[in-house]
Chains A and B, each alone.
Chain A
Amino acid sequence: MLSAPGLPRRRPAREAVTLKRLNERTWPRVTPVYQALDFAFAVRIDGDDLADYVEGLFAPFAPLGRANGSTAAHVYSVVDDGPHFKNRYALYFDGQPIIRTPLEPLALAFLLWHLNVAVVAASDRYLLVHAAAASYNGSAILLPAPKDSGKSTLVARLVQRGCGYLTDEATAINPVTLAVDPYPKPLAVEPGSWEVLADLRPDLEDRFLPFVRDQWHVAAESIRPDAIALPCPPRLIVSPHYESGARTAFEEISRAQAVLMLAENAFNFASHKVDGLHTLAEVVSGCECYRLTIGSHDDASADVMGILEDIAVRT
């Protein structure tokens, strides 16, 4: 049962009633069932504009077929109660109320946030690390870092330079194959990166513009049609840290330090415990590991590409 900080206390009986009521509604738009790692979901939406926008955003998640609201393992519902209600928009996850708001874009923002939480919760067989990831020549680069370290910006630049896109948020390490499986959510580009990523500004119809007022959602396939990567084993770990005015510089770190860093940045290390430690050790034993101070994203992405090309030559 999914809970998350900031959400109301779970009330299973009440949620069951709410879900029944939502299931009995007629929904103008229901998306296909999508699969994001181990999380299968659909979205039911009252508004056509939001529905069209959401279907575009989630297209990279392998669609499992058309949903009718009951075939998906989980379903989000975005309700519009109409202009007579101040907080007219409501978002539900199954029967769980997530938010009620006067702003449709805010309902979307909460949907995207909750989706990350739900994907992580449902995909516990993976070791999930808070890291962006890209691929080059069959090898993955992991970019573990806390929020606002520049990892989304760096991974976007790497995709622009020819890398495949794996994720910008939760790197899914498969403990069986030791490969990173793609979680190709739309790149979340915050206003602080809009200037440096100006060429990725979404080219949208006017009706979609309210949805990107506070955050751009950039589909990797809009950068390059074949940008979504296949699963691949990590060969490079770079922990980025943006520092305005700093000189872009790499500092090599030991593999043991990298294991510690990945474990500390894992969403679910507590689930994997000792096995997780051994998985990380196996993964890292084949990697070069660095800390990266980013002063310029152009310099940083060019330097990372240089390392990736060196690795490609050697492998």
Chain B
Amino acid sequence: MTVGRAGAIAWPDNGAAGGDLVPRRRASVHGVELDSESVLYDEKTGRLHFLNWSASAVWWSIDGVASANTLAADLAARFGDVSEPAASPSALRDDVLKLLSMLESQALIEAVRPSAPRTIDG
């Protein structure tokens, strides 16, 4: 992993290794959602991106706080189906991590390390 700006680090090439990282939408990227699909616009590059419904669900669940593993678990709980191997929680987790890796490769998100939990003593 390489360290980027403002605490951002590059997503590992092996997406599955990024589960503990926290995805954060880049400030220059804006989106609109219509009928569960989305169009993103990167103000910095001027590029437009289309997200289908599953990618859109991932995009809008990114809150800059939850780790990739947590997002994957949440999405698996919402959309997973234990009776379908392709929609099993572990398959969905892999899909979410791959998608996050792809979003990072398009410079739409950045990854940060999770904050250390705070103690009462600070």
Contacts and interface: CB of A to CB of B under 8 A. Distances in A.
Interface of A: 254-257, 259-260, 263-264, 270, 273-274, 277-278, 280-281, 284-285
A211 to B, nearest CB: 39
A277 B46 contact: no
Interface of B is mostly: strand
B37 A257 contact: yes
17 contacts: A254-B34, A254-B35, A255-B37, A256-B32, A256-B35, A256-B37, A256-B38, A256-B51, A257-B37, A257-B50, A259-B34, A259-B39, A264-B48, A270-B46, A274-B30, A274-B43, A278-B32
A141 B50 CA distance: 23
A263 B43 CA distance: 13
Contacts of A273: 41, 43
B41 A263 contact: yes
Interface in B10-59: 30-35, 37-39, 41, 43, 46, 48, 50-51, 56
A270 B35 CA distance: 25
A79 B38 CA distance: 52
Contacts of B33: 256
Contacts of B43: 273-274
Interface of B: 30-35, 37-39, 41, 43, 46, 48, 50-51, 56
Given A255-B37, A277-B30, A277-B39, 19 more contacts: A254-B34, A254-B37, A255-B34, A255-B35, A256-B38, A256-B39, A256-B56, A257-B37, A259-B39, A260-B48, A260-B50, A263-B48, A264-B48, A273-B41, A277-B31, A277-B32, A277-B41, A278-B32, A284-B34
A73 to B, nearest CB: 30
Q: Determine which residue in A255, A263, A264, A270 has the highest number of CB atoms from chain B within 10 A of its CB, and name it.
A: A255
